[in-house]
Structure 1
Amino acid sequence: MNPTHSIKPAGLFRRFAAILYDALIIIAVEMIAVGIVIATMEALLSLGVISYGSYADASDVLNHHPIWSWFFHAYVAFVWAGFLSFFWMKGQTLGMRAWKLRIQNEDGSTISFIQSIIRIATSLFGLGNLTVIFDSRKRALQDMWAKCEVIHLPHVQ
Structure 2
Amino acid sequence: MKPESPTERPAAVHPSVARRLAAMVYEALIVAAILLAAGLLYSLAAGGIVEGGLRLAFQAYLVAVLGLYFVWCWRRGRTLAMRAWHLRVVREDGRPLSTGQAALRFVLAALTLGTGSLGLIAVWKAPYSWGAWAAVAAGLLTVAWAWFDRDGQFLHDRLARTRLVLVKEARKPRAAA
Q: TM-score range by the shorter chain?
A: 0.7 to 0.9
Alignment match, 2:132: none
Q: Do structure 1's residue 11 and structure 2's residue 16 form an aligned pair?
A: yes
Alignment match, 2:85: 99
- The 5-angstrom pairing of residues 105-124 of structure 1 reads 105-123=91-109, 124=112
Q: Do structure 1's residue 152 and structure 2's residue 140 form an aligned pair?
A: no
Q: CA deviation at 1:7?
A: 2.2
Q: Do structure 1's residue 142 and structure 2's residue 156 form an aligned pair?
A: yes
The Cα RMSD (Å) is 2.0
4+ residue runs of structure 1 moved beyond 6 angstroms? none
> RCO greater where, 1 or 2, for CA within 8 Å and sep 6 or more?
1
Would the alpha carbon gap of residues 148 and 11 (structure 1) be closer, same or farther in structure 2, given more than 3 Å must change? same
Q: CA deviation at 1:41?
A: 2.8
Q: Do structure 1's residue 125 and structure 2's residue 116 form an aligned pair?
A: no
Q: CA deviation at 1:155?
A: 5.1
Q: Distance in 2 between matches of 1:138 and 1:108?
A: 15
- Does structure 2 conserve the Cα–Cα contact (< 8 Å) formed by 1:88 and 1:103? yes
Alignment deviations for residues 48-98 of structure 1 (CA, whole Å, 9 cap, x no partner): xxxxxxxxx61xxx2x40x22221110011111211111111100111000
Q: Distance in 2 between matches of 1:77 and 1:101?
A: 24
Q: Do structure 1's residue 36 and structure 2's residue 41 form an aligned pair?
A: yes
What percent identity do the matched residue pairs reach?
A: 26
Q: CA deviation at 1:102?
A: 0.4
Indicate which of 7, 30, 53 corresponds to 1:25: 30
Alignment match, 2:130: none
Unaligned runs of 5+ residues in structure 2 are 115-138, 172-177
Amino acid at match of 1:144: R
